[in-house]
Amino acid sequence: MSETSKTVVAATAARRSFLRQAAIAGGVAATGGIAAPAVLAQSPVVLKMQTSWPASDIWMDFAREYVTRVNAMSGGRLTIDLLPAGAVVGAFQVMDAVNDGIIDAAHTVPVYWYG
């Protein structure tokens, strides 16, 4: 086999290897593109957050502002369901309720839990 033939064979093998790798990479990329709409189509995550404040308290207004901002910033992927004191547990039990998994979050102040 002449040197020219060896060069042509080597170039053909390299081209095939490149095309095979490109096809594999394209398949992987296409798989990710197909899965993306499924992720985007998922329903939003809804978190229950109870406060230590009654519905008419100014601290409840602060919590409402926080929830409004988080809901807007998440683009609909996260929704916080804000609950006033006593809706699920008592005002002073919100931290224990979060720890026990009864609610997902609490809006309160740490002064209630000084040890």
Over residues 91-108, the mean pLDDT reads 95
Q: Residue 84's pLDDT band (boundaries 50, 70, 90)? A: very high
Residue 54 has pLDDT above 70, yes or no: yes
Task: Assess whether pLDDT exceeds 80 at residue 108.
Answer: yes
**Would you say 34 and 90 are in contact if contact means Cβ atoms under 8 Å apart?**
no
Report domain extents, the chain: 1-42, 45-113
What's the helix, strand, coil split of the chain in %, to 5? 60, 15, 25
Domain 45-113 fold is: Rossmann fold (3.40.50)
Residue 71 in this model has a pLDDT that exceeds 80: yes
pLDDT (tens digit per residue) in 37-50 = 665 667 889 999 99
Q: What angle do CA 68, 80, 94 make, to 5 degrees?
A: 115
Over residues 77-104, mean pLDDT: 95
Q: Is the pTM of this model over 0.85?
A: no
